[in-house]
Structure 1
Amino acid sequence: MANATPKESNMGYNPENWPIGAALLNFTGVTADGRDRTAAGPQAWKQTFREVRHAGFDHVDLTDSWVRPGDLDALGRKQLLETARSYDLAFSDIAVTRKSVITPDEEQARLNMAYTKRTIDAAADLEVPMVCLGLHDPLTQAQKDATWFWLAEGAENEDTEENRGKAAFRFRELGEYAAERGVSLSLEMYEGTFLGTADSSVQLVTAVDLPNVGLCPDIGNIVRLHREVEDWRAMLAKMLPHTNYWQLKNYFRDYDPATGSYASSPAPLALGFINYREAIGMALDAGFDGPMCVEHYGGDGLTVSGMNRDYIRGILASKLPED
């Protein structure tokens, strides 16, 4: 786990084989002829895997906005695994997106719990070590209409003790379910939720209190916001001791004190506001040894993700102990 000292962790990986998965958020869940890609089967999956492989990746981070492993039957999961293997790809994580288990509609929350359990089952079948969960809800219409969805207000968790307790209770139930199947869970940092600050994220994962449930400190989700945010170093210092998986992305960020205005836009890891050379060094010092995922919104996100992967491997080569 991430609580281990650097000497006890990081030793299973080297800069070349550390699992760094390509996020599939740049690929659609609907085929060109309008079919649901999940139900469309292997022929609808091959091109994405082919492009990911040609971009130099050996791991895929299965974003369920592309294909929903939890909605595949046993045969479908077998076909998904075989299709990925045909391109020499393995799965580093499944990301469950915008299916909050405490969404205000209790019937929808129940469905989201059931879907998450099916996804955990799928992870076991697909030999995926990690499932990433969050408490953020589907995009509002205003977010869908915005140039970047984070520029519009989204749904937020109702901040009550009852709701906080519900989040911890349901994540604990899912964590216990996952542990029985040899799967770990990671809780993704995201604004407007009980995972929206470093302090609240640590409070929640501590309340869950399971060895296979950790944090995903996706500080890019916070740095891109057009408001004052906590320093990224301070956020990481609090969360890294609990981190078991990491989604990495970066943003240009600017603030004009004369007008009080903020601006942000997606950036490659090496060029943005967060110094990931320092951040990765902090993670290694904290004993982080989990899978990573590279993301990028806008443009050719896969190519930028490939650049990000190579940048990370270069940092690992300079920071991991020499043989």
Structure 2
Amino acid sequence: MAYTSQTWPMGAAMLQYGATLPDGTSVQDADRSVWDKVFAELVHEGFDHVDFTDSWLRPGDLSPDRLAELKSSLDDAGLGVTAISVVRRSVIAPDPQVAQDNFDYALRTIDAVKYLGSSVLSIGLHMPLTDEQKQAHWFWLVDGHKDPADDPDTWALAVERLQKISDAAAIQGINVSLEMYEDTYVGTADSAVQLVKDIDRSNCGLNPDIGNIVRLHREIESPESMLAKMLPYTNYWHIKNYLRDYDPATGAYFSAPAPLSSGFISYRRAIEMALEVGFDGPICLENYGGDGLSVCAQNREYLRGILKFNLGA
């Protein structure tokens, strides 16, 4: 059954929650009551879905008993799961052992996606933040890892491993979505589309997180151009917005997180374009800095309003 504006799955990202508690305990190892409190807060802000950004909690690394606890906590809160988002665990990391470990982790996470009742594994090729990025006011102001350009062997390895992940996911009825992120093989619209074409799996599509590109202090392709290329292949979508400015007299750029309605990207036009090509996947709402959860809740209602106008329901 097609979604209405009110039933379209929109999950809160977990970017605003740290992976370590004030007493030093990892959220991964914390008592269930810690998870319960976070989920209660999401529900209080009107969310009925969550995206498990694995920088907060890694369902794929939980024991069977703990995974059952997590599911029980979600069920008691009345929360569905839009996706598990695997971040900064590239399956083509320069260190072969790290790359293999990340590949194995992605396969384990597929099982967790299925167990938690979701249908999407979002995965990218970005790497952990460098020390310089961690020290910056906003990490995207400092260049990080870059996938090797003009390297057919590394490209082929990315294709091979993402094919295997997609095949394993297909057995479970799970879609794989490749997250756009600068300087990776999913870092431009053209490269992202070529990668998903080379992978050539019906359950593997794109997560056109163009916010990751708009925030960069460099020349970029226009948002509408990027979306026009990627939306036909999109099966999941991380949505966020940024202010963006450029002064040609000095060459200076400016960017900062912003609500969807007031940032550089027109999400009114983006949603129209997505619906025109038949997009019907879940959505994840993200925001960095400040009270990110409240901004995401406002953004959710903004999107539902646009969907209602376009869908008529």
Structure 1 CA distance, aligned partners of 2:134 and 2:19?
Answer: 16
1:103 to 63, 88, 93: 93
Considering only aligned residues, what root-mean-square deviation do their CA atoms show, in Å?
0.9
Q: What's 2:69 paired with?
A: 79
Displacement of 1:291 in angstroms is 0.2
Helix, strand or coil for the counterpart of 1:45? helix
Helix, strand or coil for the counterpart of 2:232? helix
Query: Counterparts of 1:226-241 in structure 2 under 5 Å?
Result: 226-241=217-232
Displacement of 1:225 in angstroms is 0.4
Query: Counterparts of 1:72-151 in structure 2 under 5 Å?
Result: 72-151=62-141
1:247 to 238, 252, 263: 238
Displacement of 1:76 in angstroms is 1.2
Displacement of 1:73 in angstroms is 1.5
Structure 2 CA distance, aligned partners of 1:233 and 1:50?
Answer: 36
**Partner amino acid for 2:233?**
H
Helix, strand or coil for the counterpart of 2:265? coil
Displacement of 1:31 in angstroms is 1.8
- Asked if the contact 1:294/1:309 (under 8 Å) is kept, the reply is yes
- Asked if the contact 1:100/1:134 (under 8 Å) is kept, the reply is yes
Per-residue CA deviation, residues 180-236 of structure 1 (Å, 9 max, x unaligned), is 111111000000100000000000000000011100000000000001100110100
**Partner amino acid for 1:114?**
D
**Partner amino acid for 1:162?**
D
Structure 1 CA distance, aligned partners of 2:33 and 2:75?
Answer: 14
Q: What's 1:198 paired with?
A: 189
Per-residue CA deviation, residues 67-125 of structure 1 (Å, 9 max, x unaligned), is 10011111111111110111111111100010000000000001001111111111111
Aligned residues: 312
Structure 1 CA distance, aligned partners of 2:225 and 2:182?
Answer: 16
Q: What's 1:55 paired with?
A: 45
Q: What's 2:20 paired with?
A: 30
Q: Does 1:314 align with 2:298?
A: no
Helix, strand or coil for the counterpart of 1:104? coil
Structure 2 CA distance, aligned partners of 1:128 and 1:32?
Answer: 30
Which has the larger displacement, 40-49 or 122-131? 40-49
**Partner amino acid for 2:155?**
R
What 5-or-longer segments of structure 1 have no aligned partner? Answer: 1-10
Q: What's 1:4 paired with?
A: none
2:288 to 289, 292, 297: 297
Structure 2 CA distance, aligned partners of 1:313 and 1:207?
Answer: 34
Q: What's 2:156 paired with?
A: 165
- Asked if the contact 1:266/1:298 (under 8 Å) is kept, the reply is yes
Displacement of 1:32 in angstroms is 2.1
Moved over 3 A (4+): none
Structure 1 CA distance, aligned partners of 2:192 and 2:306?
Answer: 27
TM-score for the superposition, normalised by structure 1: 0.95
Displacement of 1:35 in angstroms is 1.1
- Asked if the contact 1:31/1:44 (under 8 Å) is kept, the reply is no
What 5-or-longer segments of structure 2 have no aligned partner? Answer: none
Structure 1 CA distance, aligned partners of 2:189 and 2:175?
Answer: 20
**Partner amino acid for 1:209?**
D
Displacement of 1:29 in angstroms is 1.0
Q: What's 1:15 paired with?
A: 5
Q: What's 1:220 paired with?
A: 211
TM-score for the superposition, normalised by structure 2: 0.98
Q: What's 1:208 paired with?
A: 199
